């Protein structure tokens, strides 16, 4: 546990030691605001809820979260510090978890800083704050899933641009697997079971369930499984790279 | 303290380290010599548990690096080739991270941090980010990191590479001062370094052990000229290799 904490602290410190953290948070908040008020027509809807806000989260995360995740392992490879890290008495699991949790905490801080929108909607009307809290939890879980995928893919390469682009593509297919765009390609010929299986992998479906205020155990387990699977795969990739 | 048995590393069909075997004990300063690409760094990466060997075994303080990785790694301090460091951190933050990972706490932690900072003269740069430091300072931060927990085994891959003559002298003095209770393995292609600090020299070329002797006995082979001995041994190896291929 203390090892995970040490890695976590170092990693989080690194985000804030460079302008990366500040640039990211400012851009994140600006885009969130712009999407909510312009594209989401927050005022014109005349509803005291934050659907206009949360609806854009998956799409914003699609580009912003891979930008946090891409450096996790690729940068360590590029600078050679991975050799330092892996020869310290730390297990791969401890390193993977510490790094992932630092990235998640950082994204969580950025998400928490959107609180003015929550204040705004409470000032303007009388929203269901339970639903809003559920949507925040769903949003954070989705970030975790994106980050776990990004961390895993980042472990393959020393090039952050490659890590970024591949992560965007993989996350995009995870997002859209519940959409007609992907499902129609299967529904004509594939057995219904497979179509349902692919649809059930969609981040969007699970996120929308939660953000409606329904915290279903299945949705929570889904995100936990995605995160767990990709982190486990991350440790395996680290092992391969040491052996090849 | 370190027992290496039949250590081999192959990348595809290319054999980088070829059935290397030797033992070494506390009190020794082992100079690991060889031309560039001889397999020195790869051997060190396998000894420290970063690279998984294709065959053979390494035991560090009676712990197998493959099966008891953490126990072995706890006993070692390692300066990787090129002294990679987290550039965005300050030396202070970096050394505190290492202290956390090495399990140092309380007064011992403070004492060890003060000692290595003093020993490697890092005082003036503690609050500067590492990326802004000169090569000499970076190398010394890397050394500080390796000796922070006062390990029994110290593995230094080209510890004086890129340092000016004064800094080289200081690092060699540091190595000598620590050598009594520890096993220190340094890799280098600077021969004067071997004469200056090592009690034993191992020469490898093409991943194979060619010579295992004291620096004095080695130099005596060619009337005290270690350079000449080195050239003869390593180039001799390459030419026999070429004949074998032909």
Rg over CA atoms, chain A: 19
Round to whole Å and give the CA distance between A56 and A74: 28
Min distance B51 CA to chain A CA atoms (Å): 5
Question: Residue B74 above 80 pLDDT?
Answer: yes
The more confidently predicted of residues A52 and B111 is: B111
Least confident range of A79-88, A115-124, A205-214, B92-101:
A205-214
Residue A66 Cα, gap to closest chain B Cα (Å): 21
Predicted complex ipTM: 0.89
Q: What is the DSSP string of B59-108?
A: EETTEETTTSHHHHHHTEEEE-TT----TTS-HHHHHHHHHHHTT--HHH
Is residue A60 over pLDDT 60? yes
User: Is A1 at the interface with chain B, CB within 8 A?
Assistant: no
Helix (H, G, I), strand (E, B) or coil at A91: coil
Output the pTM of the full model: 0.90
A200 in contact with B, Cβ within 8 Å: no
CA distance linking residue A185 with residue B183, whole number of Å: 64
pLDDT at B240 over 80: no
Query: Per-residue pLDDT tens for B194-209?
Result: 888 999 999 998 889 9
> Is A84 in contact with B84 (Cβ distance < 8 A)?
yes
For residue B31, list its beta bridge partners: B186, B201
Map residue A112 onto helix, strand or coil.
Answer: helix
Distance from CA of B146 to the nearest CA of A (A): 10
Confidence of residue B12 (pLDDT cuts 50, 70, 90): confident
**Residues from chain A contacting residue B89 (CB–CB below 8 Å):** 10, 13-14, 17
CA distances to B58, B79, B186, B223 from B46, rounded to whole Å, are 8, 13, 14, 35
- Chain B residue with Cα closest to A81: B84
CB A198 within 8 A of CB A186: yes
* pLDDT on residue B244: 46
DSSP labels, B114-156: HHHHHHTT-GGGTTS-GGGS-HHHHHHHHHHHHHTT--SEEEE
Please tell me what DSSP assigns to residue B182.
Answer: S
pLDDT of residue B1: 87
For residue A140, pLDDT beyond 90: yes
Subunit contact B97:A9, Cβ cutoff 8 A? yes
Classify A161 in phi/psi space as left (phi over 0), alpha (psi -120 to 50) or beta. Answer: alpha
Q: How far A19 CA sits from the closest chain B CA (Å)?
A: 10
Tell whether A9 lies on the interface with B, counting CB pairs under 8 A: yes
Which residues of chain A does B74 touch, with a Cβ-Cβ cutoff of 8 Å? Answer: 89
B65 burial class (0-12, 13-18, 19+ CB within 10 angstroms)?
A: buried
Chain B residues inside the 8 Å CB shell of A2: 100, 103
> Is there a contact between B80 and A83 if contact means CB atoms under 8 Å apart?
yes
Contact at 8 Å (CB) between B23 and B81?
no
On whether any CB of chain B is under 8 Å from the CB of A14, the answer is yes
Strand arrangement of the beta sheet that strand B2-11 belongs to: B14-24, B2-11, B55-60, B63-64
pLDDT of residue B210 exceeding 80, the answer is yes
Residue with tokens 């859209």, as numbered in its chain: A176
Per-residue pLDDT for B238 more than 70? no
Query: What is the separation of C-alpha A205 from the centre of its chain, rounded to a whole number of angstroms?
Result: 15
Contact residues, A window 84-123, toward B, CB-based 8 Å cutoff: 84, 86-91
Q: Which residues of A touch B80 (CB under 8 A)?
A: 80, 83-84, 87
Positive or negative: CA dihedral B223, B229, B232, B236? positive
Distance (Å) from the alpha carbon of B55 to chain A's nearest alpha carbon: 11
């Amino acid at each position: 546990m203390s090892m995970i904490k040490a890695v976590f602290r170092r990693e989080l410190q690194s985000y804030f030691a460079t302008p990366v953290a500040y640039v990211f948070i400012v851009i994140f908040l600006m885009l969130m605001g712009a999407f909510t008020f312009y594209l989401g027509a927050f005022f014109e809807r005349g509803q005291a809820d934050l659907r206009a806000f949360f609806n854009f989260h998956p799409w914003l995360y699609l580009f912003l979260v891979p930008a946090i995740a891409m450096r996790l392992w690729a940068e360590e490879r590029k600078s050679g510090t991975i050799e330092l890290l892996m020869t310290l008495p730390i297990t791969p699991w401890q390193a993977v978890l510490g790094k992932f949790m630092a990235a998640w905490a950082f994204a969580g801080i950025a998400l928490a800083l959107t609180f003015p929108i929550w204040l705004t909607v409470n000032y303007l009307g009388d929203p269901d704050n339970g639903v809003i809290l559920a949507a925040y939890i769903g949003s954070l879980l989705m970030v975790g899933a994106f980050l776990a995928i990004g961390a895993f893919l980042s472990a393959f390469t020393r090039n952050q641009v490659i890590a970024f682009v591949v992560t965007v593509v993989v996350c995009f297919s995870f997002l859209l697997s519940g959409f007609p765009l992907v499902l129609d390609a299967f529904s004509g010929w594939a057995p219904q079971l497979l179509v349902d299986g692919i649809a059930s992998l969609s981040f969007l479906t699970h996120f929308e369930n939660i953000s409606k205020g329904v915290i279903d155990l299945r949705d929570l387990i889904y995100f936990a499984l995605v995160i767990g699977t990709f982190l486990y795969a991350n440790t395996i990739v680290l092992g391969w790279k040491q052996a090849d | 303290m370190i027992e290496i048995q039949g250590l081999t590393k192959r990348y595809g069909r290319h054999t980088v380290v070829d059935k290397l075997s030797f033992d070494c004990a506390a009190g020794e300063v082992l100079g690991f010599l060889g031309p560039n690409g001889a397999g020195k760094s790869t051997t060190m990466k396998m000894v420290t548990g970063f690279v998984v060997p294709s065959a053979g075994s390494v035991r560090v303080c009676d712990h197998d690096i493959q099966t008891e990785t953490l126990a072995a790694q706890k006993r070692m301090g390692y300066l990787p080739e090129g002294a990679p460091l987290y550039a965005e951190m300050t030396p202070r933050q970096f050394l505190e991270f290492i202290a956390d990972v090495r399990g140092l706490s309380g007064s011992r932690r403070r004492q060890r941090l003060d000692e290595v900072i003093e020993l490697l003269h890092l005082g003036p740069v503690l609050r500067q980010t590492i990326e802004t430091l000169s090569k000499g300072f970076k190398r010394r931060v890397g050394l500080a990191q390796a000796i922070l927990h006062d390990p029994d085994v110290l593995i230094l891959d080209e510890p004086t590479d890129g340092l000016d003559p004064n800094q080289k002298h200081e690092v060699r003095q540091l190595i000598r001062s620590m050598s009594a209770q520890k096993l220190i393995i340094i890799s280098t292609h600077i021969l004067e370094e071997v004469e200056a600090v090592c009690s034993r020299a191992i020469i490898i070329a093409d991943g194979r052990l060619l010579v295992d002797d004291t620096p004095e006995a080695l130099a005596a082979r060619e009337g005290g000229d270690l350079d000449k001995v080195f050239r003869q041994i390593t180039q001799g190896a390459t030419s026999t290799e070429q004949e074998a291929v032909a």
